[in-house]
């Protein structure tokens, strides 16, 4: 149950109360023993399911979810209640509730933590959804890369069956619901719901055009409701505490809390859960403790490969679905990677495109070929061979890919390019016009040099140079031969006197 203790207050230096975390989806993570159903019940697990079944009013329950303002936490932000309503509508002999646990965003681990820390909340919410839409079967599609989460789900499902929370005649209501597991096999595109459904059917995980939506024709052609792990984890508290309570948290159009996986060059990495509307500054500096090694903040990447890079100008933007999209990024599933002055934004865009190129399923041309061309253009620029024309090409091609791709992957894949082009144009220009990489990342564009004034001739750099490019006697000023140097940066790491610099 939610109570005052689960509201964790972070105290900033100086003792004044600052940004507040509020745990709704993560309420039981780290609190209960996830392998002991009694522990979960002690914290109120399955009470919401009991209430829903006792009320016997599926439409009313759907209305509660709609009124709460809960939106899909997997990235799209589609209203959950509306999705349930759409899935409840068609008449069918069999319907399915699917939990999307194919957390493929690199740098995101919210779903994994919920499944490992509180698997029962997901099972409970799936049963509630099943009751509301008229489904008796639930499927959890989970990445094979998450063995511990899989094991704990198996344990949880077994225990829930033993206690009569899954199976026939739940709580004497006559309602039957059971859950099976399906395993992903490493394909990012399977986070897209039509691709996920094809993968569950044992096929290549290629998306198909919508409509028909899964709510009409999904798994095995039956109406299917697909929700993300975190979305499900938010459902039981809404049932128990009411739609008004949930809707009182957050911003006008984004209600409740969001879990973020804070990572990158930040002091305190890990999962956080904050009310919608918390600013990036509060998250990064107050909860995250600021940047490592006192470096300057440069960008924060949200939304994974579908999102964008935001800058200092966005630090005071309240985080919600609509603000992030307006800023050229997106909520995504909640990855939040902080970058500092040493990160080259052109290289970051290239990193994400490399990911997209590899993960594109190849079904539609704009995504399969367009992203490859984007990647090649970025590579050209990071090698110092780009022109201003290339920047225009990048921009135009990005728009075409967004407009013409079949599924969400292609429609959002150019976002890292567009957002960096927009927010860090100077850096692109430095690569193109001056053939320089201001962050000192792009190997072809940098030179390691020794500052004679700082060099004490300790020989540390020369001893660690893998290609013997550094010459100089002991206690004499050293010199790097640029013709031999492979720009590995070993000398820079070893020098204790700040004598090696990147130029």
Partner 1 sequence: MTSIKVELKQHQAEKLREVCRSFGNQEGELINVLHKAQGIFGYLPAEVQEMVAEELNVPVARVYGVVTFYSFFSMIPKGRNPISICTGTACYVRGAEKVLDEFRKQLSIGIGETTPDGKFSINCLRCVGACGLAPVVMIGEKTYGRVAPDEVKAILKEYEND
Cβ pair 334, 258 in contact under 8 A: yes
3-state secondary structure labels for all residues of 371-406: HHHHHHHHHHHHCCCCCHHHHHHHHHHHHHHHHHCC
> What is the rounded distance in angstroms from the CA atom of residue 184 to the CA atom of residue 100?
10
Given the rule CB under 8 A, which of 4-12, 140-148, 230-238, 380-388 is the region that contacts partner 1?
140-148
Nearer to partner 1, 62 or 439 (CB): 439
Cβ pair 30, 117 in contact under 8 A: yes
> What is the rounded distance in angstroms from the CA atom of residue 437 to the CA atom of residue 413?
24
Residue 449: Cβ within 10 Å count = 16
Nearer to partner 1, 102 or 390 (CB): 102
Nearer to partner 1, 201 or 316 (CB): 201
Report the residue from 42, 90, 107, 457 that binds partner 1 according to the rule CB under 8 A. 107
Q: Is 105 in the site for partner 1 (CB under 8 A)?
A: yes
> What is the rounded distance in angstroms from the CA atom of residue 503 to the CA atom of residue 441?
11
Nearest CA to 334 out of 414, 426, 394, 263 is that of 263
> What is the β-pairing status of strands 335-340 and 257-264?
parallel
DSSP state string for 25-46: TTTTTTTS-TT-HHHHHHTTTT
Given the rule CB under 8 A, which of 81-89, 185-193, 230-238, 375-383 is the region that contacts partner 1?
185-193
CB of 106 to partner 1, least distance (A): 3
Cβ pair 229, 271 in contact under 8 A: no
Q: What is the total count of residues that contact partner 1 (CB under 8 A)? A: 44
Distant-in-sequence, close-in-space partners of 107: CB < 8 Å, separation ≥ 6: 261, 263, 264, 301, 304, 335, 336, 337
Nearer to partner 1, 104 or 138 (CB): 104
What element of type H or E holds 194? helix 193-200
**Site for partner 1, residues 21 to 80, rule: CB under 8 A:** none
Given the rule CB under 8 A, which of 180-188, 272-280, 283-291, 376-384 is the region that contacts partner 1?
180-188
Report the residue from 261, 407, 437, 442 that binds partner 1 according to the rule CB under 8 A. 261
Nearer to partner 1, 109 or 131 (CB): 109
**Site for partner 1, residues 198 to 257, rule: CB under 8 A:** 199, 201-205, 220
Q: Is 188 in the site for partner 1 (CB under 8 A)?
A: yes
Report the residue from 26, 76, 103, 152 that binds partner 1 according to the rule CB under 8 A. 103
CB of 337 to partner 1, least distance (A): 5
Q: Is 361 in the site for partner 1 (CB under 8 A)?
A: yes
Strand, helix or coil for residue 308: strand
> What is the rounded distance in angstroms from the CA atom of residue 292 to the CA atom of residue 284?
11
> What is the β-pairing status of strands 448-450 and 308-310?
unpaired
Given the rule CB under 8 A, which of 79-87, 157-165, 333-341, 387-395 is the region that contacts partner 1?
333-341
What element of type H or E holds 153? helix 147-162
Distant-in-sequence, close-in-space partners of 477: CB < 8 Å, separation ≥ 6: 450, 452, 455, 457
Nearer to partner 1, 201 or 473 (CB): 201
Report the residue from 99, 243, 263, 374 that binds partner 1 according to the rule CB under 8 A. 263
Q: Is 184 in the site for partner 1 (CB under 8 A)?
A: yes
CB of 475 to partner 1, least distance (A): 25
Strand, helix or coil for residue 299: strand
Given the rule CB under 8 A, which of 88-96, 184-192, 246-254, 393-401 is the region that contacts partner 1?
184-192
Cβ pair 399, 229 in contact under 8 A: no
Nearer to partner 1, 104 or 237 (CB): 104
Q: Is 187 in the site for partner 1 (CB under 8 A)?
A: yes
Q: Is 269 in the site for partner 1 (CB under 8 A)?
A: yes
Nearer to partner 1, 71 or 182 (CB): 182
Report the residue from 272, 327, 339, 367 that binds partner 1 according to the rule CB under 8 A. 339
Which residues make up the interface to partner 1 (CB under 8 A)? 103-109, 112-113, 144-146, 182-188, 199, 201-205, 220, 261, 263-265, 269-270, 301, 304, 335, 337, 339, 343, 351-352, 355, 361, 488-489
């Amino acid at each position: 149950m939610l109570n005052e203790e689960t509201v964790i207050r972070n105290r900033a230096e100086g003792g004044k109360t600052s940004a507040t975390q509020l745990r709704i989806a993560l309420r039981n993570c780290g609190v209960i023993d996830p392998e002991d159903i009694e522990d979960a019940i002690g914290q109120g697990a399955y009470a919401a399911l009991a209430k829903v079944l006792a009320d016997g009013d599926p439409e009313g329950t759907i209305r509660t979810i709609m009124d709460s303002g809960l939106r899909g936490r997997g990235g799209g932000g589609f209203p959950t209640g509306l999705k349930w309503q759409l899935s409840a509508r068609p008449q069918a002999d069999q319907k399915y509730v699917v939990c999307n646990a194919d957390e493929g965003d690199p740098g995101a681990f919210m779903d994994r933590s919920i499944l490992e820390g509180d698997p029962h909340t997901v099972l409970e919410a799936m049963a509630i959804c099943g009751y509301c839409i008229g489904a008796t079967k639930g499927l959890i599609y989970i990445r094979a890369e998450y063995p511990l989460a899989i094991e704990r789900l198996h344990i949880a499902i077994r225990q829930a069956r033993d206690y009569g929370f899954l199976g026939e005649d739940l709580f004497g209501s006559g309602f039957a619901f059971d859950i099976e597991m399906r395993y992903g096999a490493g394909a990012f595109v399977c986070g897209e719901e039509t691709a996920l459904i094809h993968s569950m059917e044992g096929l290549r995980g290629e998306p198909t055009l919508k409509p028909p939506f899964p709510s009409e024709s999904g798994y095995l052609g039956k109406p299917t409701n697909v929700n993300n792990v975190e979305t499900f984890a938010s459902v039981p508290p809404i049932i128990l505490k009411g739609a008004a309570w949930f809707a009182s948290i957050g911003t006008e159009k984004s209600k409740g809390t969001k879990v973020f996986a804070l990572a990158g060059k930040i002091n305190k990495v890990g999962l956080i859960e904050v009310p919608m509307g918390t600013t990036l500054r509060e998250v990064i500096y107050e909860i995250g403790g600021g940047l490592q090694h006192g470096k300057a903040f440069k960008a924060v990447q949200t939304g994974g490969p579908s999102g964008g890079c935001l800058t200092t100008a966005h630090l005071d933007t309240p985080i919600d679905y609509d603000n992030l999209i307006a800023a050229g990024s997106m909520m995504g599933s909640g990855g939040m990677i902080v970058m500092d002055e040493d990160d080259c934004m052109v290289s970051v865009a290239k990193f994400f495109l490399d990911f997209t190129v590899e993960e594109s399923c190849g079904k539609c041309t704009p995504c399969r070929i367009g992203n490859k061309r984007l990647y090649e253009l970025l590579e050209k620029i990071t090698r110092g061979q780009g022109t201003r024309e290339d920047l225009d090409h990048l921009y135009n091609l990005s728009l075409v890919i967004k407009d013409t791709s079949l599924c969400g992957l292609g429609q959002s894949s150019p976002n890292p390019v567009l957002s960096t082009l927009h927010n860090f144009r100077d850096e692109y220009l430095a690569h193109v016009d001056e053939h320089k990489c201001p962050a000192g990342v792009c190997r072809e564009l940098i030179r390691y040099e020794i500052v004679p004034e700082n060099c004490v001739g300790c020989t540390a750099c020369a001893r660690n140079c893998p290609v013997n490019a550094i010459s100089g006697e002991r206690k004499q000023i050293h010199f790097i031969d640029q013709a031999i140097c492979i720009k590995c940066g070993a000398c820079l790491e070893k020098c204790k006197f700040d004598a090696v610099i990147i130029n």
